[in-house]
Structure 1
């Protein structure tokens, strides 16, 4: 038995702080449990009352003569601490602390909260809250509304987790309007003990839960969260997880010296976590419900088995009785990552044999406004059989000759014969209500507007891509960790926390990066001699702790072909650096062998508290600032995650062969990203890092790290 069973399916509940005054939280929670027809035994605890709502009250939880599974605590922090001590002594199995005034208000509240959690963990008691709405289980065998929301939702197969109690009440009201049901519903508040990961594990094992939706404000676990949730979303019994995360636009990028740091705002971290774990992020409450409904439906097959249908590809057929909605659906289909399926000749022939001459036989199929249910049935049957169709969207607008119920029955009949998903858009409310009800009862997703249906289909396809993703054999590397560790330790000992190529490239060499011959010169003549030794052409770069972005200071010269050019370049670079920053300490000029041509990409890392290092990939050089075409992943990452990360950027196609240009060495980039991940995991002192540009040569010819900068920080 899972310890959270005592919270979601208790046999007995004590409400400590139950009040006789309507409008008080203690009264309303107790009343809600009563009104909800809780199937277990309910005990009010109030030392100043003989009864609450005609139910005998007890002075303390210790005075209850029978065992108690769940205690709902509605008391100020100091009283809550004493009561929970008594509850633990009594053997209570689960606790929900609804009241506020704990860590969210300051030091004293935090100390009390910590004492409570320490005590409960030692006793093996799980705690929800403090500062939460409560818990709801509307399923018939439990029927528990232990919350201060007076609305008990209808039973369903979707579980909801929220950090915000206030949002929960709004969601419950919204769900009632849409006739939307839940399996479990919980507000976790301060999540002092039970957090999102605990609940995701529990709901994944819950046979009454088919989909999990989350309202999230912040996570307190990073790599562990990704690792475990990835198994939930793609294991033997994959459970879709949808999340709406607050703060997408309000959180800016962190102030940072590196390109990676300036581009990697906190939302990049969350997007990375969601993508790596297989969680689908949505932008609105409306989409949250639309997509949850889509994933929750399980269509019955002809064998009587229920299964969630996901498309094998993104080719969609649209069948409609109105041109306008068909055009809207087509536009939204394309913008949702889908394509209009191209029908085979036999499909077009089948459509022609059943539809009137005025009908459009190509996608989207227009069956004309006077279409009866049999015309819909024949058209849908023809397109869903086509091997080039991965799913269908049926649009119906109510007209005088429209039979919404008959069309819905036809859709259900065809859906049972195919493994391909079929979604419907029955536009309107009253005139199509019978058809909508029949579709919902038979597990067919149905929407009011075509754009909602298209977005939902696109999300289902995204989920299908996650389930069917490729797995490549991992790379096997042997890094020179000890040498890199020594270089980093020496730099920190010398107070060098911002390091450039000389030390940085040596660290990169330890992790398999190909670098260029590079030496520091402090005079113009030394620079000329160094260039002759290295071999022309060369690149020259300013070295100054105060000048991290060298190009901004005119501190880079490329393609110098002879000693005189190098001397002139040295003078120009030094003079430009002084004009750029009069206080800059100029340590010299780097002379570097000029690399062979290649496409410029950037690799980077930025370390976050709790989550660890965030890896960045994108097009480099000056383009990283102009286009900001980058993607992120939390380390550690392997070959499979790296490939998905690279394909996410818009410019990925530029690495492939195009317009006579050969393909770049993509596999080398994949290897170096994994090496970078290993490096920042092995060396927590690396706070920020840019390799910009990494010059990627033609396929089979590798890549060269032309420039890098690192910011180090001592780790205790």
Structure 2
């Protein structure tokens, strides 16, 4: 038995802090449980009241003569701490603290919250809250509304988790308007004990939950969250998870010394977590409900078994009785990552035999405004059988010959005979209400507008891609971890926390990066001697802690083919650096073998509290902050995540073969991304780094580091 069962399906509930005064939270929560038809036993606890709503009250939870599963506590912090101690003494199995005034108000409240958590952990009792709405289980076997929301939602197969109690009441009102049902509904407030991951694990094992929705403000776990949730979204019984997170448009990235640091804001971290875990992020409450109802699409087949309808591909057939909505649906279908299916010849012949001459037989299929249910039924049956169709969208507008209920019945009948998803858009409210009701009762997703239906179908397809993703064999890599640690320790001992190429290239070489022969020259004579040893042509680059972006200071000269060119370039670089920044400490000029041409990409990392290092890949060179064509993943990553993050950027097409240009060495880039992940995981001193550009050569010829910079965190945590 799971410890959270006592919270979601208790046999008995004690409301500690129950009040006889209407309008007070203690009164309203008790009244909501009582009037919600709770199937267990309910006890009000109030030391000054004989009864609450005609139910005998007890001075303390310890005075209740029978066992208590769940204690709902609605008391100020200090009194709540005493109530928790009493509840533990009583032997309760779960606690929900609704009241506020804990960590969210300052140190004193946080101290009490921490004490309560310690008490509960010692007693092996799970705690929800504090500062939360409460918990609701509308299933008829429980009927528990242990919250200060007066509305008991309809029972369904979708569970909802929220950090915001205030949002919960609005969501419940929205759900009632849409006749939307829940399996479990919970607000977690401060997450002192039970958090999102605990609830995701619980709901995944709950056979009454088919889809999980989350309203999220912040996470307190990183890599662990990804690995655990990945099992939930893609295991033996995958459970779709939809999240809406606040703060998407908030300024996240701060001023930083690296490109990665300036591009990687907090939302990049969350997007990475969601993508790596298989969580689908949505932009609005409306989309949250639309997509949840689509994922809950699990109707009964002809064999009597229930199955979720997930498309195998992105080819959609549209059947409509109006041209305008069909065009809108077509546009939204394409913009949602889908494509219009091309019908086979026998499908077109079948359509022609059932539809009038004026009908459009190609996708989208227009059955004409006077279509009765038989036209819809024949057209939908024909297209859904087509091997080139992965699912269908049925659009109905109310016209004189329209039979909304009959059409809905035909859709339900066909849906039971196919494994392909069928989504509906019945436009209007009153005239199509009977058809909409029939579709909803039979688990068919139905929308008021075609664009919403197309977006929902696109989200289904994205989830299908997640479920059917390929798994590559991982790289077997060998790194010189000890050598890298020696380099880092040496730099920190010398007070060097901002590393340029001279030290950075040595560090990257320990992790299998192909670096160019490089020497540091203090004079033009030393530069010439170094170039002679390295071999021409060479590149010269300024080395100064105060000049991070070398090109801005004219600090890079390429293609030096002889000693005279090297000497001239050296002096130009030094003079330009002094003009660019008079106080710059010029350590010298790097002389480096000139790399073979390649396509420029950037690899980077930036370390975050709690979450750890975030890896970046993108279109590189001087345009990285112009185009910002980058993708992120939270380390550690393996080969599969490396490939997915590479394919996410628009510039990935430039790495493939096109217009006579050869394919780039993509396998090497995948390996280097994994090596970079290993490096920043193994060496927590690395705070930020850029490898920009990494020159990717044609297939089979590897990739070369052309420039890099790193920032280390000193032993005292200070970045110089």
Residue 158 of structure 1 is matched in structure 2 by 158
User: Partner residue of 1:81?
Assistant: 81
Deviation at residue 116 of structure 1 after TM alignment: 0.4
Residues 230 and 277 in structure 1, CA contact (< 8 A), matched pair in contact too: yes
CA–CA separation in structure 1 for the residues paired with 2:254 and 2:234: 33
Give distance in 2, aligned partners of 1:309 and 1:690. 44
Match of 1:203 in 2: 203
Deviates more, 1:631-640 or 1:245-254: 245-254
Q: Hey, what does 2:567 align to over in structure 1? A: 567
Q: What CA deviation, in whole Å up to 9, does each residue of 1:541-596 have, x standing for no partner?
A: 11011111111111111111111111111111111111221111110000000000
Conserved 8 A contact 1:129-1:190? yes
C-alpha distance in 2 between matches for 1:377 and 1:85:
64
User: How many Å separate the matches in 2 of 1:344 and 1:564?
Assistant: 70
Structure 1 counterpart of 2:643: 643
**Separation in 2, partners of 1:628, 1:713:** 26
Name 1:483's counterpart in structure 2: 483
1:481 touches 1:510 (CA, 8 Å); kept in 2?
yes
CA apart distance, 1:251:
3.2
The alpha-carbon deviation at position 347 of structure 1 amounts to 1.1
Q: Residue 443 of structure 1: CA displacement?
A: 1.4
Once the two structures are superposed, what CA deviation does each residue of 1:432-472 show, in whole Å capped at 9, x if it has no partner?
11111111111111100000000000000000000000001
Give the drift of 1:526.
Answer: 1.2
> Residues 548-559 of structure 1 correspond to what in structure 2 (within 5 A)?
548-559=548-559
The correspondence of residues 447-458 of structure 1 with structure 2, limited to 5 A, is: 447-458=447-458
For residues 247-289 of structure 1, give each alpha carbon's deviation from its aligned partner in whole angstroms, at most 9, with x where no partner exists. 0001321221100000000000000000000000000000000
| Greater alpha carbon shift after TM alignment, 551-560 vs 152-161 | 551-560
Instruction: Give the aligned CA root-mean-square deviation in angstroms.
Output: 0.7
Q: Distance in 1 between matches of 2:111 and 2:664?
A: 57
Deviations 1:199-245 (A, max 9, x none): 00000000100000000000000000000000000000000000000
Do 1:541 and 1:589's aligned partners in 2 also have CA atoms closer than 8 Å?
yes
1:14 aligns with 14
Please show how residues 69-108 of structure 1 align to structure 2 within 5 Å. Answer: 69-108=69-108
Q: Distance in 2 between matches of 1:267 and 1:576?
A: 38
TM-score by length of 1: 0.99
> For the Cα contact (< 8 Å) 1:601–1:694, is it kept in 2?
yes
Mapped to 2, the partners of 1:24 and 1:579 lie a distance apart of 71
1:689 corresponds to which residue? 689
1:711 aligns with 2:691: no
Q: TM-score, normalised by structure 2?
A: 0.99
Aligned residue runs from structure 1 range 558-597, under 5 A: 558-597=558-597
Between the aligned partners of 1:625 and 1:580, the Cα distance in structure 2 is 21
SS in structure 2 of the partner of residue 329 of structure 1: helix
Alignment of 1:29-178 (within 5 A): 29-178=29-178
Quote the Cα distance in structure 2 between the aligned partners of 1:579 and 1:156. Answer: 70
Q: Distance in 2 between matches of 1:507 and 1:18?
A: 64
Aligned partner of 1:529 in structure 2 is 529
- Is 1:321 matched with 2:321? yes
| Whole-Å separation in 1 of the counterparts to 2:72 and 2:445 | 37
User: SS of the counterpart of 1:299?
Assistant: coil
SS at 1:204 equivalent: helix
What is residue 426 of structure 1 aligned with on the other side? 426
Secondary structure of 1:650's counterpart equals coil
Shift of 1:350: 1.1
Task: Return the offset for 1:715.
Answer: 4.8
- Give CA deviations for 1:101-151 in whole Å, capped at 9, x if unaligned: 101111111110000000100100000000000000000011000000000
- 2:546 aligned with 1:541: no
Q: How many residues align?
A: 716
Q: Deviations over 1:635-669 (max 9, x none)?
A: 00001111111110011111110000000000000
Distance 2:5 2:106 in 1: 32
Are 1:165 and 1:187, in contact at CA under 8 Å, matched by a contact in 2? yes
Match of 2:242 in 1: 242
Kindly state the Cα deviation for residue 346 of structure 1 after the two structures are TM-superposed.
1.2
For 1:306, what is the secondary structure of its paired residue? coil
* 1:344 CA displacement: 1.1
Match of 2:610 in 1: 610
Q: Report the Cα distance in structure 2 between the residues aligned to 1:348 and 1:8, rounded to whole angstroms.
A: 53
Partner of 1:389: 389
What pairs with 1:211-610 in structure 2 (closer than 5 Å)?
211-610=211-610
CA separation in 2, counterparts of 1:715 and 1:291? 48
**What's the secondary structure of 1:304's corresponding residue?**
coil
Moved more, 263-272 or 575-584: 575-584
Q: Distance in 2 between matches of 1:252 and 1:619?
A: 21
Supply the distance in 1 between the matched residues of 2:251 and 2:582 (Cα, whole angstroms). Answer: 34
TM-superposed deviation, 1:714? 2.8
Q: For 1:149 and 1:303, how far apart are their aligned partners in 2?
A: 41
For structure 2, the residue ranges without an aligned partner over 5 or more in a row are none
8 Å contact kept, 1:684–1:715: no
SS of match in other structure, 1:80? helix
4+ long deviations beyond 6 Å? none
| Mapped partners of 1:212, 1:20: distance in 2 | 36
Q: Name the SS of the counterpart of 1:300 in structure 2.
A: coil
SS of 1:451 mapped into structure 2: helix
Greater displacement, 573-582 / 216-225? 573-582
Instruction: Give the match for residue 184 of structure 1.
Output: 184
- 2:631 is aligned with 1:631: yes
**Contact 1:75-1:99 at 8 Å conserved across structures:** yes
User: The residue matched to 1:307 in structure 2 has which SS?
Assistant: coil
